[in-house]
Amino acid sequence: MTKSFITRAAIASALAATSAANTNAEDYRDNPFTLTYAGALKANVAGAVNLHPVTYKLNGLDIAANVYTPAHYDPKARAKAWPVIVIAHPNGGVKEQVAGLYAQRLAEHGYITITADAAYQGASGGQPRNVDKPAHRIEDIHGMADFISRYPGADGARIGLLGICGGGGYSLSAAQTDKRIKAVATLSLFNSGRVRRNGFADSQLNSIQERLQQATEARAAEAAGGNIAYTGSAQLTDEQIAALPFALYRQGMHYYQRSHAHPNSTARYTTSSLLDLMRWDATDQVELLTQPLLMIAGSEADTLYMTEDAFAKATGAQSKQLFLIPGAQHIETYWVPEYVDAAVAELRRFYGSTL
């Protein structure tokens, strides 16, 4: 009886959260750019922030990206060059979701911003689909910097980087060696390697070798021309979501599968990717990062331990600040207006003083 009551209450709470989120979402089917966030651009208007879908090559693959330009942007103007922010999206996310929201908000404050679908994911090229390897995600960030530094009106000497969730971990790695990046910020950092290896909150330490064996077998099957094995549920029912053990996953499933769903976004990734993910860590060699660093997280996020761990280890940063958003959980920093406003205000202050 008790178990049944808790399950129904959890479902009711989750559905209420979804309903609230829907008031701060855009149905991708009703948006010409297929954006999913509230207040998303629906048309390009002279003198306002505009969105420019672009495609470029990266290691032989077509990369789909969106470039946001600030109000009164003039690609032919030579008297002013705009600072740039490169934005790396979360694991399983696409450029039309939270990465697009922050790209648009920062463009409103005078930055040229770019966010691209990761290689093998979203609308970008690459086979098999949904390969999720750290080396690819890090290269995606370098590729965005390559493209945007040559964009008309962009100041290639003033490039900032914002990594969201899994994109935050990969941003720490990219900035270690890419010194075109002058300032690094993370939002709700997710250390993909640590979680895939140890489990969330280090809850799967006893099954590391078993999961590595599964990944090895998946790689062998791919090499032999067999089926591609995937990890991660494509779709869950409300009851299955409510039964998930961590708020990150409960709220994340509602964000990605309900309130801010996009057809190019999926939680699935190739099982063989774990061979690369499980031997990588967002804090590996992080002392090589020398640029100013801002790390933002919700004070109530169950992922906060990952931000705190990386922040402590980033000993080479020229300056560093940890900014906690009071009351916010991880996924809530993606869409709750007051939390997004707080994060954008801090990012604006940070980039304004470092770029």
d(CA 275, CA 293): 29
Residue 330's pLDDT is: 98
Confidence bin at 15 (pLDDT 50/70/90): very low
Residues above pLDDT 70, as percent of the chain: 93
Instruction: Give me the number of domains the chain comprises.
Output: 1
pLDDT digits (tens, 9 = 90+) for 97-140: 999 999 999 999 999 999 999 999 999 999 999 999 999 999 99
Q: Which of 148, 144, 83 is nearest to 347 (CA)?
A: 83
Q: What is the largest CA-CA distance in the chain?
A: 71
d(CA 135, CA 124): 16
For residue 39, what is the domain's CATH number? 3.40.50.1820
Residue 310's pLDDT is: 98
Q: What is the arithmetic mean of pLDDT over 191-220?
A: 98
Provide the domain limits for residue 126: 2-354
d(CA 206, CA 197): 10
Residue 12's pLDDT is: 38
- The pTM for the full model equals 0.93
d(CA 44, CA 101): 16
- Whether the predicted pLDDT of 157 surpasses 50: yes
Q: Could you tell me which residues come within 8 angstroms of residue 270 by beta carbon, excluding any fewer than 6 positions away?
A: 128, 130, 131, 132, 218, 222, 228, 229, 230, 231
Residue 161's pLDDT is: 99
| Mean of all residue pLDDT scores within the chain | 93
Residue 337's pLDDT is: 98
Helix (H) or strand (E) run with residue 67 in it: strand 61-69
**Using an 8 Å Cβ cutoff, are 141 and 86 in contact?**
yes
Confidence bin at 23 (pLDDT 50/70/90): low
pLDDT digits (tens, 9 = 90+) for 220-249: 999 999 999 999 877 889 999 999 999 999
